[in-house]
Amino acid sequence: MNEIAPFDTRVDPSVLAARLSDERAPDIVEALNDEAPEVAAAILLGLPTERAIEVLDQPELDCAADIIEMLPRDRVAGYLSGMSADRVTDVFREIEEPGRSDLRARLDAETRGAVDRLSAYGEETVGSLMTTEFVTVPGTWTVGQTLEHIRHVEKTRETIYAIFVLDPRTRALTKAVPLRRLISGDPSDNVLSVAPGRRPLAVSPTASREEAARLISKYDLLALPVVDAVGHVIGIVTVDDMIDAMIEKQTQDVQRFGGMEALPEPYMDIGFFTMIRKRAGWLCALFLSEMLTASAMQGFEGELEKAIVLTLFIPLIMSSGGNSGSQATSLLIRALALHQIRLRDWWRVALRELPTGIVLGAILGVIAVIRIVAWQKFGLYDYGEHWPLVAATVGAALVGIVTFGSLAGSMLPFLLQRIGFDPATASAPFVATLVDVTGLVIYFSVALLILRGTLL
Amino acid sequence: MNEIAPFDTRVDPSVLAARLSDERAPDIVEALNDEAPEVAAAILLGLPTERAIEVLDQPELDCAADIIEMLPRDRVAGYLSGMSADRVTDVFREIEEPGRSDLRARLDAETRGAVDRLSAYGEETVGSLMTTEFVTVPGTWTVGQTLEHIRHVEKTRETIYAIFVLDPRTRALTKAVPLRRLISGDPSDNVLSVAPGRRPLAVSPTASREEAARLISKYDLLALPVVDAVGHVIGIVTVDDMIDAMIEKQTQDVQRFGGMEALPEPYMDIGFFTMIRKRAGWLCALFLSEMLTASAMQGFEGELEKAIVLTLFIPLIMSSGGNSGSQATSLLIRALALHQIRLRDWWRVALRELPTGIVLGAILGVIAVIRIVAWQKFGLYDYGEHWPLVAATVGAALVGIVTFGSLAGSMLPFLLQRIGFDPATASAPFVATLVDVTGLVIYFSVALLILRGTLL
Query: What pLDDT digit, counting tens, does each position of A88-127 carry?
Result: 888 888 888 888 888 888 888 888 888 888 888 988 889 9
Residue from A66, A24, A62, A6 nearest A42 by CA: A66
Region at A124 (left for phi over 0; alpha for psi -120 to 50; beta for the rest):
alpha
- CA-based nearest residue in chain A for residue B255: A330
- CA-based nearest residue in chain B for residue A281: B360
pLDDT of residue B4: 52
pLDDT of residue A1: 40
Residue from A224, A240, A272, A256 nearest A337 by CA: A256
B:236-275 residues touching chain A, CB 8 A cutoff: 239-240, 242-244, 246-247, 250-251, 253-255, 257-260, 263, 266-268, 272, 275
Instruction: Look at B364 and A283 and tell me if their CB atoms are within 8 Å.
Output: yes
pLDDT of residue A2: 43
Res B224 pLDDT > 90: yes
- Enter the DSSP assignment of B12: -
Going by C-beta distance under 8 Å and a sequence separation of 6 or more, which residues neighbour residue B166? B136, B137, B138, B139, B172, B173, B174, B233
Q: From 3.40.190.80, 3.10.580.10, 3.20.20.210, 1.10.443.10, which CATH number describes the A136-246 domain?
A: 3.10.580.10
To probe the interface with A, which of B279, B288, B318, B401 has the most A CB atoms within 10 Å? B279
Instruction: Look at A254 and B257 and tell me if their CB atoms are within 8 Å.
Output: yes
To probe the interface with A, which of B224, B250, B252 has the most A CB atoms within 10 Å? B250
Q: For chain A, give every domain's residue range.
A: 13-120, 136-246, 267-451
Instruction: Look at B1 and A315 and tell me if their CB atoms are within 8 Å.
Output: no
- From chain B, pick out residues whose CB is under 8 angstroms from the CB of A293: 315-316, 319
B:77-136 residues touching chain A, CB 8 A cutoff: none
- From chain A, pick out residues whose CB is under 8 angstroms from the CB of B163: none
With cut-offs at 50, 70 and 90, classify the pLDDT of residue B232: very high
pLDDT per residue over B153-173, tens digit each? 866 666 677 899 999 999 999
Q: Look up the ipTM and state it.
A: 0.81
How close is the nearest chain B Cα to the Cα of A117, in Å? Answer: 24
Res B446 pLDDT > 70: yes
With cut-offs at 50, 70 and 90, classify the pLDDT of residue B9: low
Do residues A115 and A100 make contact, with C-beta atoms less than 8 angstroms apart? no
pLDDT of residue A204: 95
- List per-residue pLDDT tens for chain A, 456 residues long: 444 545 555 567 888 888 888 888 899 998 888 888 888 999 989 899 888 998 998 888 888 888 988 888 888 888 988 888 888 888 888 888 888 888 888 888 888 888 888 888 988 889 988 888 889 999 999 999 998 898 888 666 666 778 999 999 999 999 999 888 888 888 899 999 988 888 899 999 999 888 898 899 888 888 999 999 999 999 999 998 888 888 888 888 889 988 898 888 888 888 899 999 999 999 999 999 998 888 888 888 888 888 888 888 999 999 999 999 999 999 999 899 888 888 999 999 999 999 999 999 999 999 999 999 999 999 888 888 889 999 999 999 999 999 999 999 999 999 999 998 888 888 889 999 989 989 999 999 999 999 988 877
B87 vs A122, A446, B53, B160, CA distance in Å? Answer: 39, 53, 11, 17
Instruction: Look at A440 and B180 and tell me if their CB atoms are within 8 Å.
Output: no
pLDDT of residue A158: 62
CA–CA gap between residue A170 and residue A302 (Å, rounded)? 80
pLDDT of residue A373: 94
Give CATH for domain B13-120.
1.25.60.10
CA torsion through residues A260, A262, A266, A270, sign:
negative
Please tell me if the domain spanning A136-246 has the same topology as the one spanning A267-451: no
**Taking the mean position of all CA atoms in its chain, how far away is CA B342?**
20
How close is the nearest chain A Cα to the Cα of B152, in Å? Answer: 8
pLDDT per residue over B178-222, tens digit each? 888 888 888 899 999 988 888 899 999 999 888 898 899 888 888
DSSP A323-346: HHHHHHHHHHHHHHHTTSS-GGGH
To probe the interface with A, which of B283, B356, B359 has the most A CB atoms within 10 Å? B283
pLDDT of residue A407: 96
Give CATH for domain B267-451.
1.10.357.20
Instruction: Look at B183 and A294 and tell me if their CB atoms are within 8 Å.
Output: no
pLDDT per residue over B13-70, tens digit each? 888 888 888 888 899 998 888 888 888 999 989 899 888 998 998 888 888 888 988 8
B:288-327 residues touching chain A, CB 8 A cutoff: 288, 290-291, 293-294, 297-298, 301, 304-305, 308, 311-316, 318-320, 322-324, 326-327
CA–CA gap between residue B439 and residue B446 (Å, rounded)? 11
A:320-359 residues touching chain B, CB 8 A cutoff: 320, 322-324, 326-335, 338, 340-341, 345, 348-349, 352, 355-356, 359
Strands A233-238 and A223-227: antiparallel
Instruction: Look at B363 and A283 and tell me if their CB atoms are within 8 Å.
Output: yes
CA torsion through residues A53, A55, A60, A62, sign:
negative
Res B380 pLDDT > 90: no
pLDDT of residue A10: 58
DSSP B19-48: HHTTS-HHHHHHHHHTS-HHHHHHHHHHS-
CA–CA gap between residue B305 and residue A200 (Å, rounded)? 73
What's the angle, vertex CA B388, arms to CA B384 and CA B393, rounded to 5?
Answer: 100
pLDDT of residue B50: 87
